[in-house]
Amino acid sequence: MKQFHSIQEVRAYRKSTPGIIGFVPTMGNLHEGHLALVRQAKAECDAVVVSIFVNPKQFNSTRDLEQYPRTYEDDLAKLKSVGADSVFYPSREAVYPADFSTTISSNSLTHLWEGEHRPGHFDGVCTVVAKLFNMVQADRAYFGEKDYQQLQVVKAMARDLNIPIEIVPCPTVREIDGLALSSRNSLIDPKLREKAPLIKSVLDGAKFAIGNGSPVDGALQTARDTLVGAGFIVEYFSLVNGCSLEPIIQWEVDARLLVAAQLGDVRLIDNIAL
């Protein structure tokens, strides 16, 4: 597995590698969710580049950025085990040199949900993803449905800016108890960990209720109340159109349930298709 630290190296690799290149952007601290993206990319492309870069521009607090887990050596071993062809691990200075001054401002999909609760987050995501796309110049990029809004925002950005890359969505990978895998799960207070899977059961409960004809408002309120009753702070629990991400009040094709809730110090997000 090749390792690149500079933009020149990863560009040279792209130029000298024939066939379809798949790209998996990550912030490291890799788990099975990330590895599933790499496996899918491996199965569908001739070579796979994985980037590891903890992007300071998409964090809302210095504390969150500082405590984000960094486990590079471990990540390398995991990537080798799934056959990634190369890892791109640029420094912060390479991505954001001192005179860096351009931001990609995100689009109509970002005024709600994560965008509302994390101001500037999607500008940071769009800026770094566009930069990484330009650095790696892959044919396809693999993103997890775990971050459903991010997936839609990145798709819209690539389309709007005519970036010649296909965005491939990949299903959410979960623990056996239903908790969606996330690098932040390791930060959950062990005493609260057993409550975390409630997010998925409540999503399933709301899906079942709405699927069986319960009014959407009532089903969503029951879901919020259940989470609050268990000690979560609920930021949103909503039914949305899966493309526009606008809230909807009845079932429609591509409808999606989105949730963000805090458990202790850790903010968890999840979603399921209806």
Active site residues: 34
- Which of 34/131 has CB closer to ligand AMP? 34
146 sits near ligand AMP (criterion: CB under 6 A): yes
* In contact, 64 and 124? CB cutoff 8 Å: no
Counting contacts by CB under 6 A, is residue 113 touching ligand AMP?
no
27 interacts with ligand AMP by CB under 6 A: yes
Residue closer to ligand AMP (CB basis): 95 or 181: 181
The dihedrals phi and psi of 78, each to the nearest 5 degrees, come to -65, -40
d(CA 51, CA 2): 12
**Smallest gap from residue 236 Cβ to ligand AMP (A):** 18
The amino acid at residue 51 is S
The residues, ordered by sequence, that sit 6+ positions from 133 with a Cβ below 8 Å of its Cβ are 23, 141, 158, 163, 165
List the beta bridge partners of residue 262.
233, 267
Among 11-19, 64-72, 142-150, 266-274, the segment contacting ligand AMP (CB under 6 A):
142-150
Q: How many CB atoms lie within 10 A of CB 123?
A: 17
Which position among 21, 26, 88, 136 is part of the footprint of ligand AMP (CB under 6 A)?
26
Cα–Cα distance measured from residue 223 to residue 229, given in angstroms and rounded to the nearest whole number: 10
Is 106 or 172 the residue whose CB approaches ligand AMP more closely? 172
Q: Which stretch binds ligand AMP (CB under 6 A): 34-42, 102-110, 193-201, 223-231?
A: 34-42
Instruction: Pick out residues in 203-262 that bind ligand AMP (CB under 6 A).
Output: none
Among 51, 149, 152, 172, binds ligand AMP (CB under 6 A): 172
175/29 Cα distance (integer angstroms): 16
Q: Which stretch binds ligand AMP (CB under 6 A): 3-11, 38-46, 166-174, 243-251?
A: 166-174
Instruction: Name 170's bridge partners.
Output: 144
Matching residue, tokens 């062809």: 85
Largest Cα separation within the chain, whole Å, is 57
- 110 vs 112: CA distance, rounded Å: 5
State the minimum distance, in angstroms, from the CB of residue 128 to ligand AMP: 10
Does residue number 37 form part of the binding site for ligand AMP (CB under 6 A)?
yes
Q: Binding segment for ligand AMP among 95-103, 140-148, 210-218, 228-236 (CB under 6 A)?
A: 140-148
Q: Which is nearer to ligand AMP, 82 or 220 (CB)?
A: 82
DSSP letter, residue 28: S
Q: Scan for tokens 């401002």, then name that residue.
A: 105
Report the residue from 109, 180, 227, 269 that binds ligand AMP according to the rule CB under 6 A.
Answer: 180
- CB 79, CB 178: distance < 8 Å: no
Which residue ranges make up the site for ligand AMP (CB under 6 A)? 26-27, 33-34, 36-37, 143-144, 146-147, 170, 172-173, 180-183
